[in-house]
Amino acid sequence: MRYLHYLLLLFLVGNANAQSDSTTTLKVGIKHAAPFVKNTSEEPTGESIDLWEIIAEQENLDFTYVTYDETKQLLTAVANGEVDLSINPTTVTTKRMKNLHFSQPYYISETVMVKKKQSVWLAMIDNLFSGEFFVALAVLLSIIMVFGLLTWVFEQGKNDEFRKGIKGLGDGFWWSAVTMTTVGYGDKSPVTLGGRFIAFIWMFSAIVLISSLTAGIASSLTVQSLESRIDDVRDLKRFKVGSLKETGPGDLLKNNGVSFNSFATIEEGLTAVQDEEIDFFIYDKPISAYHLKTGDFTDLVISDKILRTDYFSFIYPKNSLLRNKLDPVIVEVVKSEKWKFSIGM
């Protein structure tokens, strides 16, 4: 009889533990990251919230949200087991994988550059009157002056069309410029053997120079945006850029040796672009698109240049049993019609 009591007691304890496990309230860490997580101080909404609540309802999970103000705080809380998981859009990185476990990705994002819209005419003027253009112009004028000077040296005193002194230098420069442009006024022409030899060389050289100048001007008049000079992340070293610290895009810049202005919020970074304090704000495309759509940033656009493809996942503490349990459910819900990312791009 005593053994029967022991067995009955073990059954009751085991049953109580099973019921306790099934009714465990999960702590879900969140941080404001619109459009994925919004209104964290009130009733949370957003794309990640919708996804999680579909999963929780389907799996009959009891949970409560725990709100954090900074990304670093949230990641630390998950790593230390203060919360059971976070459903914020967290980019998978090698550094983070050392302390966290990631779920199956539920959204494929991109790291992009937010820039200020540029007027076609202003861009043309900027390109035409760039430093490179003035350097090329200075070199051309110097060459014209050299050939004009050489011709004047041979012609002065022997040709009345090339006067002596400063005025004669002006005559040489005028003749050299007219010859280069093939205008051919005929008001000045060399008569000495040396002068004609210089003129002969200059005529053929000028054909090459004027062709190069024409091509250079045509290239300058072709509007090229800033990002056309960017092939990969390291090229951003030549520009003033900004991002948020302790984020995937910020780590991307840091790991590639790109110094950047660190902002506390996305709004601050976008305002810096708008005020031309920086050239680009580097961040995730869907989150940047949401702030451009809902904020007062009508003169900002997202560049077509993609710096990196990112994968957003839920995160768990190391060795969490939730990952194996929820991964198939995440894949199922994301593939179904139950959850659709709805922000307009």
| ∠ Cα 345 230 120 (to 5°) | 65
Give the CA count within 13 Å in the CB-facing half-sphere of 231.
0
42 vs 45, more confident: 45
3-class SS at 158? coil
pLDDT digits (tens, 9 = 90+) for 200-228: 899 888 888 877 777 766 665 554 555 66
Question: What is residue 122's predicted lDDT score, i.e. its pLDDT?
Answer: 61
Question: What is residue 204's predicted lDDT score, i.e. its pLDDT?
Answer: 86
Asked whether the beta carbons of 297 and 274 are under 8 A apart, the reply is yes
Question: What is residue 110's predicted lDDT score, i.e. its pLDDT?
Answer: 94
Asked whether the beta carbons of 227 and 241 are under 8 A apart, the reply is no
Residue among 67, 70, 68, 56 at smallest CA distance from 24 = 56
Beta strand 241-244 pairing with 100-102: unpaired
Q: 107 forms bridges with which residues in the sheet?
A: 312
**3-state helix vs strand vs coil in the chain, percent to 5:** 50, 20, 30
Stretch 312-328: mean pLDDT, rounded? 94
| ∠ Cα 70 278 221 (to 5°) | 145
Structure tokens at 73: 């705080």
pLDDT digits (tens, 9 = 90+) for 259-317: 999 999 999 999 999 999 999 999 999 999 999 999 999 899 999 899 999 999 999 99
Look-up of token digits 């006024």: 185
Q: Is the pLDDT of residue 59 over 90?
A: yes
Measured CA to CA, the distance from residue 313 to residue 59 in angstroms comes to 19
Stretch 177-183: mean pLDDT, rounded? 84
Asked whether the beta carbons of 278 and 226 are under 8 A apart, the reply is no
- State the maximum Cα–Cα separation within the chain, in Å, rounded to a whole number: 139
Asked whether the beta carbons of 39 and 45 are under 8 A apart, the reply is yes
Q: Which range among 36-40, 72-76, 121-125, 310-314 shows the weakest confidence by mean pLDDT?
A: 121-125
Q: Can you state the angle between helices 131-155 and 165-180, rounded to 10 degrees?
A: 120
Structure tokens at 53: 């609540």
Measured CA to CA, the distance from residue 6 to residue 13 in angstroms comes to 11
Domains annotated on the chain, with CATH: 2-108+312-335 (3.40.190.10), 122-221 (1.10.287.70), 230-309 (3.40.190.10)
Asked whether the beta carbons of 262 and 244 are under 8 A apart, the reply is yes
Q: Which range among 68-82, 178-192, 270-284, 322-336 shows the weakest confidence by mean pLDDT?
A: 178-192
Q: Is the pLDDT of residue 86 over 90?
A: yes
320: left (phi over 0), alpha (psi -120 to 50) or beta: beta
Question: What is residue 23's predicted lDDT score, i.e. its pLDDT?
Answer: 56
Question: What is residue 127's predicted lDDT score, i.e. its pLDDT?
Answer: 62
- Percent of the chain whose predicted confidence (pLDDT) is above 70: 84
Per-position DSSP letters for 178-214, written without gaps between them: HHHTT----S----SHHHHHHHHHHHHHHHHHHHHHH
Residue 11's pLDDT band, with cuts at 50, 70 and 90, is very low
Q: 86 forms bridges with which residues in the sheet?
A: 29, 315
Measured CA to CA, the distance from residue 336 to residue 338 in angstroms comes to 5
Stretch 330-334: mean pLDDT, rounded? 94
Question: What is residue 16's predicted lDDT score, i.e. its pLDDT?
Answer: 35
Q: Is the pLDDT of residue 94 over 90?
A: no
